């Protein structure tokens, strides 16, 4: 009544159909994927803009012109203004020369510059480094009877490691930290 096929033929058909079904299930999602073209590496920078959708019932006199529909980014705050505001908030006179940090307590330096990027402790001294984009400010503190006090301040070019004279580094490091916060 029932005709039995050979085992090898029956197993091949079953396994072949399963293999085909598995491949089809794996290939279908991959074929549905689309890749977007890579962004232009050297193309012009595109400013983020948002258009405001007008309400159809708004009277035409109250509608915005196309130039009013674009939200513009606020201008970057001036580094000098950031530094002045920071010192005013601390109730301290503003200074740009890093040697003005000499003689200050550790708490005062931390209030002005924040937490250092690198701290090295070699009793009785500590070295605090504040790294900016262009320079590194190093503050050396020594343990005195009334706490840690700044004894030495040094500024160096970040890429060359050569000493930098003048007030530029303290102001740059402080402005970068204030802009980031």
SS3 of residue 94 by DSSP: coil
pLDDT confidence tier of residue 52, bands split at 50, 70 and 90: very low
Quick one: 181 exposed, middle or buried, by C-beta within 10 A (0-12, 13-18, 19+)?
A: exposed
Mean pLDDT for the stretch of residues 25-36: 57
CA distance 50 to 72: 9
pLDDT confidence tier of residue 25, bands split at 50, 70 and 90: low
pLDDT value of position 67 = 52
- The per-residue pLDDT for range 123-167, each reduced to its tens digit, is 999 999 999 999 999 999 999 999 999 999 999 999 999 998 877
Is 136 within 8 Å of 129 (Cβ atoms)?
Answer: yes
pLDDT value of position 51 = 44
Q: Answer yes or no: pTM beyond 0.85.
A: no
Percentage of residues of the chain with pLDDT beyond 90? 33
């Amino acid at each position: 009544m029932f005709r039995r096929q050979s085992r090898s033929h029956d197993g091949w058909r079953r396994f072949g159909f399963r293999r085909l079904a598995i491949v089809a299930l794996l290939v279908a999602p991959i074929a549905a994927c689309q890749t977007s073209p890579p962004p232009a590496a050297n193309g012009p920078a595109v400013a983020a803009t948002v258009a405001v959708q007008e309400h159809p019932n708004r009277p035409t006199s109250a509608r915005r012109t196309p130039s009013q529909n674009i939200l513009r980014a606020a201008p970057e705050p001036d580094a000098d203004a950031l530094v002045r505001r920071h010192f005013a908030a601390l109730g301290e006179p503003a200074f740009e020369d890093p040697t003005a940090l000499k003689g200050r307590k550790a708490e005062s330096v931390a209030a002005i510059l924040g937490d250092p990027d690198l701290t090295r402790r070699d009793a009785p001294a500590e070295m605090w480094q504040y790294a900016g984009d262009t320079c590194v400010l190093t503050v050396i503190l020594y343990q005195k009877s009334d706490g840690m006090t700044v004894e030495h301040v040094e500024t160096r070019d970040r890429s060359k490691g050569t000493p930098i004279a003048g007030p530029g580094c303290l102001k740059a490091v402080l402005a970068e930290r204030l802009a980031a916060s």
